Amino acid sequence: MVCFRESKNPFICNVKTAIVILNWNGRALLERFLENVVKHSAHLATIYVADNASTDSSVAYCKEHFSEDVKIIQNKENGGYAKGYNDALRHVQADLYVLLNSDVNVEKGWLEPMLSVFENSPSIAVAQPKIKDLKRPTHFEYAGAAGGYIDALGYPYCRGRIFDTCEEDTGQYNDTVDVLWASGACLFIRANQYWEVNGLDEDFFAHQEEIDLCWRIKNKGYRIVAVGNSEVFHLGGATLSSANPQKTFYNFRNTLFAVVKNSPGLKYILRILMRLVLDGIAGAKFLLEGKPKHVWAIIKAHFSFYSHYPSLLKKRKALKQRQHYYQIRSIVFKYFIKNKKSYRDLL
């Protein structure tokens, strides 16, 4: 494959790339965003739409308008993000997968810097571009911003996003740096490493499964980076908005899943106990805000965690390589008590 930078200077690219967009009843999103993916990516990658048993006309739309540019994979059921991608990627022959949300807008030149990273750095297994807010393009977007980390209790945060506070992009994160996790909204991952760790954990169904995936890959000794000279724009909330209690359920439950599976030593038990207490405080906050459905979502998340705990212990035992890569002991303390609202303020 011959790849071209915007300067038109060719370079040899040996990374066979597949962009895979998971879709469930998302015709409106495909109508809005797929054309740009094809326009700015088809010269460098094969593009797939993996359909999770949609009941709308998504597949028909793709076949009618993109029959020559987009390949269709039709999953037999809606298994969520995790199973949906696991099922679809078994049908994709590529060196590099790009797991791209259907509500992401890409622009000219977004792909070349990402491919260069993988071409030039064999130790890098996973990467993401800067993810910015389509509704407010000057700012980073919640789902990944400029690369993610977790604190000692498993709370995720990003360069450019702490809890619900998203920073303005002033070029402060234009570098390429190692991170713990890359966003599932636009996740570049080598196929060999994806399958080496058996792909996404399907028990997560949706939300934070990319953190667990990246954590397992990091524990294998591979690098995960955020690439600052590439950016995409994410609509966000297209499947589940932050106002949906189901999103609260998955976020609270799946964090507990990831901590049990991947944290080293017996201290993970103390981490879990502390998280359960803090989750209770979060529930009280939701109650004071008049959001009882979110309180119930946290309660359900905990009971679901308890029911999955035996299987999580089996997975933990199978993952012999475990380590915790936290920079900050408590992002809750830094944010709510110390009033640190930007990533650089944390350090």
User: What is the three-state SS of 262-311?
Assistant: HCCCCHHHHHHHHHHHHHHHHHHHHHHCCCHHHHHHHHHHHHHHHHHHHH
Q: How far apart are CA 86 and CA 201, in angstroms?
A: 9
pLDDT score recorded for residue 117: 96
What pLDDT score does 12 carry? 58
Global model pTM greater than 0.75: yes
Least Cα distance to 260 among 300, 332, 318 occurs for 318
What are 119's two structure tokens? Answer: 């071409």
Give residue limits of the domains in the chain.
Answer: 17-234, 245-320
Given this model, what pLDDT does residue 239 score?
61
Average pLDDT along the chain, 347 residues, taken 10 residues at a time: 44 85 97 98 97 97 97 96 97 98 97 96 97 98 97 96 97 98 98 98 94 97 97 83 87 96 91 96 96 97 98 94 90 96 94
Closest CA to 139 of 227, 229, 233, 226: 233
CATH number given to 17-234: 3.90.550.10
